[in-house]
Amino acid sequence: GESVGLHLPTLSVQEGDNSIINCAYSNSASDYFIWYKQESGKGPQFIIDIRSNMDKRQGQRVTVLLNKTVKHLSLQIAATQPGDSAVYFCAERTYTGNQFYFGTGTSLTVIP
């Protein structure tokens, strides 16, 4: 089966600092990756995505980096704010299907 894992289950950062959340995936055939943010009591919220033909994509305060050589994905959040406190999931999908595989999540806590 697929394996999408996270290097760290928890991460604490000071408000204003940058955050980096990492994710490893095992299927080299995966072609599409998404980062989701899940706040307590809510469903996962789309943050940013990246396709396998790219190695970097930027959004508002967020950047996703994809290293296909080592099958590693990261989410960088600039100037982390208290509202960024949540669990972050990476998800991958292979070209052959519409099924996503999710990591277990990293809990980000922003310290004011």
Q: Report 8-47 residues binding another protein (CB under 8 A).
A: 32, 34, 36, 41-46
In this structure, what DSSP letter does residue 84 have? G
Which residue lies nearer to another protein by CB, 14 or 45?
45
Q: In whole angstroms, what is the distance from residue 98 CA to residue 80 CA?
A: 32
Residues 43-62 that bind another protein (CB under 8 A): 43-46, 49
- Output 51 or 56, the one with its CB closest to another protein: 51
Q: Regarding beta strands 106-111 and 10-14, do their DSSP bridges make them parallel or antiparallel, or are they unpaired?
A: parallel
Query: How many residues sit in the footprint of another protein (CB under 8 A)?
Result: 22
**Which tokens sit at 57?**
């994509």
Distance of alpha carbon 18 from alpha carbon 11, whole angstroms: 12
Residue 80: CB minimum distance to another protein, A = 23
Residue labelled with tokens 């394996």: 3
Q: Which residues bind another protein (CB under 8 A)?
A: 1, 32, 34, 36, 41-46, 49, 89, 91, 97-105
